[in-house]
Structure formats: C-alpha cells, structure tokens
C-alpha cells in the first residue's frame, strides 16, 4: 500500500499542471520556481505606444513642450514609486497599470508643475473600462481623478491618504476618446490638503466631470522624524 502511494505521488508530480496559475496560486503538486535573481527593471509606460490615437499623441506633444512642466514616469510596479514601503514586495501593481495590454485599460501620462501646484493628466480609456456599452465606467473615471489628485497631493505635501473624494459627473466619456484632468491645489490647513480638478475633452470644449478631494498628510516614519523629517506646518 505504501509503495503504491509513493508511486502514485511521483506520477502526479511528473505531470505538468493543466491549469497554469499566477505564482501565488500554484496547484499544490506543482514545483515552486525559485525567485528571479535580478529584479525586473522598471518600465516607463507614460510614453506613446501603438495603441495611442493621433489625438493622444498630438496633445502629449503639446504638453511635453510646455516649459516648467515635468512629465512623470509611470511604472507598473508600486515599489518603483514607493521604495521600501510596507506591502510592496512581490508582483504588486499600481491599480491604473494593472491591465497588461496596451490600449486595453488606462493609457495615461501626467505632467506636474510644482511651483504652480498643478497637475495635468492626459488619458485614453480602453475597452476593459467599459460601463454602459461604448462608455467609460464611472468608477474608472473616479480612479483617474483620485490618481491625479493624489499624485499632486504627494508632490506638494508628502505622504498622504485620500479622506474624501466628491465627483459631479456631467457628461459620459466614450471609450477611446482622449480626456484631460486639470488639477490644482486649493489650500492646505495643517495636515489637510484640499484639491480640485476638472475632467474635460482634450481640446477643452466639453466638461465631463468636476471633483474635489481632501487628503490627509501622514506623520513621517519614526526614523525619518529622528533625522529631522518634515512635521506639521
């Protein structure tokens, strides 16, 4: 009986898994591959690719040419944005970059002007973001707005979390069209950071949504505070 069980286990182990799964969801009998020796280099996705429309490319070139604005790289993995932060080990993803296929989800690029406390985000929503047939899901637009306001809050105030996000949806956004989020800092009150933005068509003629956000600046980590980190203003 024991010999038969050992033979059966060897036979099962030699059969490849018929349903490949992500690394963290392997079948119990599948061998675990050793971790890669070298980390995957960051990939900047905030650059033109084959899925970008002519409109997206044209407005990208216009924003890139404006002096005083900096294009922000957009890496897929969260630890490239927040090195050393808790919970960013392994195959973590920034939510807007979780969809692999170019053009399938959020195709976006952000431009930041710290002196003017403003951020502009150009986006072309793909078919995986569909809500009503042919239209971008309202939750996807909320993600775009939250990411834009949050990035600006990080730039002007340091580590923050979203406390409140209020959105007025004005007109739906057809899939594949190009929209522009224009965000700015409204005011700061201690640890509270107030921002607002408008989401318009790339040419600025059509208002699709307006939003306000409240972000709370987090206390610096203890080791940073001991080294003279920034405290409350």
**Hey, which residues are catalytic here?**
146
Contacting residues for 132 by C-beta, under 8 A, at least 6 apart? 172
Tell me the C-alpha distance between 133 and 1, whole Å.
60
Handedness of CA 96, 97, 98, 103 (dihedral sign): positive
Helix, strand, or coil (residue 103): coil
Q: Give all strands of the β-sheet with 106-113 in edge-to-edge order.
A: 70-72, 106-113, 118-125, 179-189, 192-201, 207-217, 160-169
DSSP assignment of 21-51: --GGG--TTSPPPPPPSSPPPP-B-SS--TT
Tell me the C-alpha distance between 126 and 40, whole Å.
26
């Amino acid at each position: 009986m024991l010999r038969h069980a050992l033979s059966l286990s060897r036979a099962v182990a030699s059969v490849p898994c018929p349903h490949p799964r992500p690394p963290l969801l392997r079948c119990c009998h599948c061998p675990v591959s050793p971790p890669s020796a070298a980390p995957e280099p960051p990939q900047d996705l905030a650059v033109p690719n084959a899925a970008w429309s002519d409109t997206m490319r044209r407005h990208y070139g216009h924003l890139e040419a404006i002096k005083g604005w900096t294009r922000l790289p957009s890496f897929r993995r969260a630890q490239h944005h927040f090195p050393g932060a808790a919970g960013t080990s392994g195959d973590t993803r920034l939510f807007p970059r979780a969809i692999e296929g170019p053009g399938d989800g959020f195709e976006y690029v952000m431009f930041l002007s710290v002196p003017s406390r403003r951020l502009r985000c150009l986006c072309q929503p793909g078919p995986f973001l569909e809500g009503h047939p042919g239209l971008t899901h309202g939750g996807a637009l909320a993600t775009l707005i939250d990411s834009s306001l949050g990035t600006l809050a990080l730039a002007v105030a340091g580590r923050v979390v979203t406390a409140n996000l209020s959105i007025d949806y004005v007109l739906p956004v057809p899939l594949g069209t190009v929209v522009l989020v224009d965000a700015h800092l409204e005011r700061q009150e201690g640890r509270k950071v107030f921002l607002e933005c408008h989401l318009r068509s790339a040419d600025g003629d059509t208002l699709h949504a307006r939003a306000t956000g409240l972000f709370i600046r987090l206390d610096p980590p203890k080791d940073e505070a001991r080294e003279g980190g920034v405290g409350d203003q």
